[in-house]
Amino acid sequence: MEKPTVKGDRKKGSIVIPLEHKLRFLTPRHIAIIDEMLANVAPYGEDTLRIQQGKLRFVAQSKSFDAMKMQRPKASHETKDSGGEKPG
């Protein structure tokens, strides 16, 4: 008996992946979407799959920043584009 496969479409050609078992939840389209999201996740990002009524309904991608590497934002009166007068 032949193993199930996932067939997808890539910009540079097709891909066929042999599977251990038949997919019960994801479709090849879902897999392609998730793969694209993972390829574009930021260094501190997070991808979330949201299930509704037993089906993949939403995918969300969030981007986080390392608080230890962040710099204090300049106050509006410190920026040259603020357009206002400096407090006196």
pLDDT in tens, 28-58: 888 888 888 888 888 888 899 998 998 888 9
- DSSP H/E element including 34: helix 28-39
Share of the chain above pLDDT 70, in %: 69
User: Do residues 45 and 63 lie in contact, with contact meaning Cβ atoms separated by under 8 Å?
Assistant: yes
User: Residue 84: is its pLDDT beyond 60?
Assistant: no
43 Cα distance to chain centroid = 11
Instruction: Note the pTM of the prediction, 2 decimals.
Output: 0.53
For residue 31, which of 60, 50, 14, 6 has the smallest C-alpha distance?
Answer: 6
